[in-house]
Amino acid sequence: MTTVLTWAEMEPLLKDIDVIGAMEAGFSAYSAGQAVIPPVGELCIEDPPGDVHIKYGYLTEGEHYVVKIASGFYDNPKLGLPSSQGLMLLFSKTTGQTKAVLLDEGRLTDIRTGAAGAVAARHLAPSSISQIGIMGTGIQARVQLEYLTGVTDCREAMVWGRSIERAEAYAEEMKGLGINVRVAPDAQALASTSNLIVTTTPSREPLLRAEWIQPGTHITAVGADSPEKQELDGAILAKADVVVADSVAQCLLRGEIHRAIGAGLLEQDQVVELGAVIAGKVEGRRGDDQITVADLTGVAVQDLQIAAAVYAAKG
């Protein structure tokens, strides 16, 4: 029998799921060659502005395969709607039977992305974080900061957004997590005072410049999940001591690594994969004065891990 769950039914199950651990295991398996993940399917919509991603795949040693549809429609907040929407479908890898229909409204994608940011910070951030910088004020800006509280003791943050009103509302909301969030007057002020930065916007032009980044900073870039998006000046990746991809194959086609290589500022052999860093197969950060960048474009193995975990938790 197929399990059908709404977001209201799924949300309570997450408290018993180690989402960060599930993401680490998924990334490790992916980088070890134990996952089959085809290229991302993508629809780009101009009016209203939005994009739809279709991701799917399985682990060779796993029981399931997943198909996920997730969208971002960036004018939705004007309509009182969240920008993220979507669902996940979980199937038996043995018989093809539909095991679960997860009507998550895009929330599982938000959560697995936030948890992936925490994984990147756990393995790449400096040992002492003085301030977390958040670029953006939307759903992912909230989820990233929430999950970072599980991997760092830092409770000082700064946020930058194009709307000062939304940035102020974000700062007020994050007080509920016990975090003191200040609103940055501009992106340079945030970059020059934060040594853990997360970028969460759908920008199509760089928001952070290389000359603003201080030694020892880790940057997790999650907003550029399609070929035309870019949040980081490519010179940041050229300047970085370590550049990490969630999927090298995928980041050659989309995201910050794609743009930096296209600009002639980075070579493919300078990029290592997050799962290999987690597994200790390649070296990540080697000192607190190094600059590290993680380019997270979102890999279907993350969707598989969280969908399977929710299905198992339902019992």
- Could you give the residue numbers annotated as active site? 68
- Spatial distance between the Cα atoms of 62 and 231, rounded to a whole number of angstroms: 35
- Spatial distance between the Cα atoms of 246 and 252, rounded to a whole number of angstroms: 11
- Spatial distance between the Cα atoms of 230 and 259, rounded to a whole number of angstroms: 7
CB atoms within 10 A of CB 184: 23
Cβ-contact 118, 274 below 8 angstroms? no
Tokens of 54: 């279709």
Closest CA to 83 of 46, 138, 42, 137: 138
Q: What is the CA radius of gyration of the chain?
A: 18
3-state secondary structure of 61: coil
H helices of 84-220, in order, are 107-124, 139-148, 164-174, 187-193
- Spatial distance between the Cα atoms of 315 and 308, rounded to a whole number of angstroms: 11
DSSP lists the bridge partners of residue 44 as 51
Cβ-contact 243, 235 below 8 angstroms? no
Provide the terminal-to-terminal Cα distance of the chain, rounded to the nearest Å: 12
